[in-house]
Structure formats: C-alpha cells, structure tokens
Amino acid sequence: MDSRTTILAQVRGAAVGSLSGAVGIAAHGMAGGGMPPSQSAVVLLLAVCAGVGAVVSSFTVRDRNWPFLLAALASGQLAGHITLSLVGGASHDVTLSPAMLGAHLAAIVASAGVVRGVERACLHVLAAFTRIVLFVFSAPAVEVAGWSPTPIHRATLQPWLLAVATAGTRAPPVTA
C-alpha cells in the first residue's frame, strides 16, 4: 500500500466527517427556525461524525471514485440528520421533506467537490513538503577546485630581438 493512498484516505475521512457535522448543524438550524441544538446533541453529533470519518478513512480507494465519496457523504449526512432529529428535541422529525431532500442532495454534491479539492490540495502540499525536506536534508554538493598554477607573466620572444639578430636565434652572438 502506498503511503500517499493512506494519507489521502485519512484526509478524506476527516473531510467527510467534518462536512457531515457542519451540514447537519446548518440544516438543523435552517429547519428548526434558528434554534441551536443542545450541548448534548452537538457532542453526540461530533461523536457520530467522528465515527463516520473513521469508517470512511479505513477504506483506501485507489482511483478516487465518485460513487464511494457520494455514498460516504450521504451516509454521514443521514447519520447527522438522524442524530440531531432524535436528540435535538422536537424541532423537526426524522422524515425528509422534498425540500430537505433536495437541500441534502445539493449539499452532498457541493461537499464532494470540497473533498476533491481538499485531496488535491493535500497532494500538492505533500509534494512541496517532500521537495523541501529533500532539499534541506540532502548532502551539499562537494565543490572540487581544479587549481592549477597559471603564470602571471609569460616570457615571449619579442620581434625586435629577432630583427637585431643577424643569423636568427640559433646563431652565436655577434661580436662587434
């Protein structure tokens, strides 16, 4: 199993659990007339959504298929809806009206887009982090200086010396 697949599964589970809780509280607030849920209902909703996230993160979906993600989001929202309906008091019942069903379906599609964006961002962050770690902890390049002594003044044969010599440079010195 690839470590990237495991990390993506954990990110997917956290995103599905978090979005299920957020959508559950938002839908409860819209349906209940703005009455916030009780503390015990919120704690139970957090526990249920954490459980949904843990179950979703236990599945490592390699090809990131949409049916699995949509089913996971639908089950998370259903669990959140049922939890807040049963524990949240008499604000609304467990049954889904057509308007609420449409809102949940729209929230599932929007949440799926958010989860895909989070997964993609996670991959980019992991790639950048890997490049940074490899750069920081890599051995520095050893610079070998190929030093060779270079003469500052090179003795060259001057043309005027050739002109004054009678027999060139190989002849014996001229006596005057």
Instruction: Give the model confidence (pLDDT) of 38-74 as tens digits.
Output: 788 888 989 999 999 999 988 877 656 788 889 999 9
Which range is least confidently modeled, 9-23, 41-55, 61-75, 141-155? 141-155
What pLDDT does residue 153 have? 66
Does the pTM surpass 0.75? The reply is: no
Which range is least confidently modeled, 80-89, 95-104, 160-169? 160-169
Whether residue 16 has pLDDT greater than 70: yes
What gap in Å lies between CA 88 and CA 36, rounded to an integer? 9
Q: What angle do CA 169, 170, 172 make, to 5 degrees?
A: 100
Amino acid 125 reads: V
What pLDDT does residue 65 have? 77
- Residue 126: CB atoms within 10 A of its CB come to 15
Residue of higher predicted confidence among 163 and 98: 98
Q: What angle do CA 19, 43, 112 make, to 5 degrees?
A: 10
What gap in Å lies between CA 2 and CA 100, rounded to an integer? 40
Confidence class for position 23, pLDDT limits 50, 70, 90: confident
Confidence class for position 98, pLDDT limits 50, 70, 90: confident
- What are the residue boundaries of the structural domains of the chain, listed by start? 3-137
pLDDT digits (tens, 9 = 90+) for 109-135: 999 999 999 989 998 999 999 999 998
Q: Is 116 helix (H, G, I), strand (E, B) or coil?
A: helix
pLDDT exceeding 90 applies to what percent of the chain?
A: 23
What gap in Å lies between CA 56 and CA 97, rounded to an integer? 27
Question: Are residues 118 and 57 in contact, defined by beta-carbon separation less than 8 angstroms?
Answer: no
